[in-house]
């Protein structure tokens, strides 16, 4: 994932999903540590619902086009 798309994802998580900055930071740290994609990690830790995960991936796929 390129840096632009990664930044867009973080902005989306903050503004659209309403995650707190501290939750996103924790997710990023765990994502890098466990070598797991951030959206999957946030979902597996209960920070995202399955619907939010689906909307996030839809958003990311639209940005990739």
d(CA 35, CA 41): 10
Q: pLDDT (tens digit, 9 = 90+) per residue, 41-54?
A: 999 999 999 999 99
Show the domain range for 27: 16-64
* Alpha-carbon distance values, 35 to 9, 51, 65 (Å): 17, 23, 25
What's the total number of domains in the chain? 1
Q: Is residue 49 part of a domain?
A: yes
Residue 5 in domain: no
pLDDT in tens, 8-17: 999 999 999 9
Residue 46 is assigned to a structural domain of this protein: yes
Band (pLDDT 50/70/90 cuts) for residue 4 is confident
In this structure, of 3-7, 21-25, 31-35, 49-53, the range with the lowest mean pLDDT score is 3-7
Q: Is position 38 within any domain? A: yes
């Amino acid at each position: 994932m390129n840096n632009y798309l990664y930044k867009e994802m973080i902005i989306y998580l903050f503004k659209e999903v309403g995650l707190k900055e501290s939750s996103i930071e924790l997710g990023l740290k765990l994502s890098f540590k466990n070598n797991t994609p951030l959206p999957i990690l946030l979902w597996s830790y209960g920070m995202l619902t399955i619907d939010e995960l689906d909307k996030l991936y839809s958003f990311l796929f639209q940005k990739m086009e």
